[in-house]
Amino acid sequence: MQKYIAKRLFQMVIMVLGITFIVFGSLYLAPGDPAQILAGESATLTDIENLRESLGLNDPFFVQYGRYLKGLLHGDLGTSLQSRQPILDEIRIRFPNTVNLTIGSMIVAIVVGVPLGIISAIKRNSFLDYIATTTALFGVSIPNFWLGIMLILIFAVKLGWFPTGGMTHWFYTPTGLKQIILPSIALGGRIAAIFMRLSRSAMLEVMQSDYIRTARAKGVKEKAVIWIHAFKNALTPLITVFGTNFGALLGGAMISEQVFAINGLGRYMINAIYVRNYPAVQSAVLVFAVSFILVTLIVDIIYVIIDPRISYES
């Protein structure tokens, strides 16, 4: 077990290194001279050249990359070209909102998607199954930005049940709960549909296996067959799916944050793209990618813990 975790941690370090390389490489290749942008409009060529030298921009690529890595290890993500503030501070304020939104959406996705999938697998080809699979088909076909706007239009503007946007509190507080419901549905709806389809097929597969037939043959009650024998085994493949869909959730978070005016990391990144604030774009991408890798790692570890069939060594 420890060996497995150590191996995965090592792999993670390699992955993160690869990502820093992509991120830094793209910064290096990005159009525009950072020194010129930092120096401002009125700077002379000599000023810019001096700034270039002092920032080390004349150094070879790998020297600059090494310096960038060293900075990262000290928590230095660079300076925002727009506000001239350390990017780390800017991200630190916004990241909790993104985490909040992601947790809320994941809850929506799991609470709605998994039970629906299981029920429609048990009642296969029934009217309920038909309704659930059709809803899921729509769920994966509706763009979340559009769903978000429609939710605002109906539930915030017409009915006035929820605020139209913004996020100031965590999801477990009453205000926070009101703020997070619509964005979570907009963002989690699609993932809920994916979970529904996957848990349905996972459950169907398990229900067809020999040991379920044996359980039924020896007279186990249908309820016990479903919940004790089948459900547990259907759940295991779903856990990896939770991990891989976390990436989709992060990507969708950007859109949801934009639609609901949530001051999160995604919105920060999109604004940075608009004004060509490259260091901020790269840092946001880095934070997103590293959180994705971390979640995948945690999910993988949980997976081997709960499923004894997986061998840690291989």
Binding site for other proteins (CB under 8 A): 15, 18-19, 22-23, 26, 29-31, 137-138, 140-146, 149-150, 152-153, 157, 201, 204-205, 208, 247-248, 250-252, 254-255, 258, 269-270, 272-274, 276, 278, 281-282, 285, 288-289, 292-293, 296
C-beta closer to other proteins: residue 131 or 224: 131
| Residue 61 vs 172, nearer CB to other proteins | 61
Nearest to 167 by CA among 103, 210, 233, 218: 103
Integer angstrom CA distances of residue 56 from 60, 260, 283: 9, 41, 19
Return the number of the residue (43 or 297) whose C-beta is nearest other proteins. Answer: 297
CB of 47 to other proteins, least distance (A): 26
CB-count exposure of residue 302 (10 Å: 0-12, 13-18, 19+): middle
Give the tokens for residue 73.
Answer: 């290890």
Question: What's the closest the beta carbon of residue 130 comes to other proteins, in angstroms?
Answer: 11
CB of 281 to other proteins, least distance (A): 5
Nearest distance in Å: CB 273, other proteins: 4
| Token representation of residue 105 | 């959406």
User: Residue 302's closest CA among 236, 257, 244?
Assistant: 236
Question: Please, what is the minimum distance in Å from the beta carbon of residue 300 to other proteins?
Answer: 12
Q: Which is nearer to other proteins, 129 or 307 (CB)?
A: 129
| Strand, coil or helix: 181 | helix
In angstroms, what is the minimal distance from the CB of 163 to other proteins? 16
Exposed e or buried b per residue across 242-273, where buried means at least 16 C-beta atoms within 10 angstroms of its C-beta: bbebbbbbbebbbbbbbbbebebbbbbbeebe
Query: CB-wise, 144 or 179, nearer to other proteins?
Result: 144
Nearer to other proteins, 169 or 276 (CB): 276
Tokens of 159: 């009915």
| Closest approach of other proteins to the CB of residue 169, in Å | 25
Measured CA distances, 201 to 22, 121, 208, 277 (Å): 37, 7, 11, 45
Q: Which is nearer to other proteins, 120 or 179 (CB)?
A: 120
Q: Cα(287)–Cα(96) distance, rounded to whole angstroms?
A: 12
Tell me how far apart the alpha carbons of residues 20 and 171 are, in angstroms, rounded to a whole number: 32
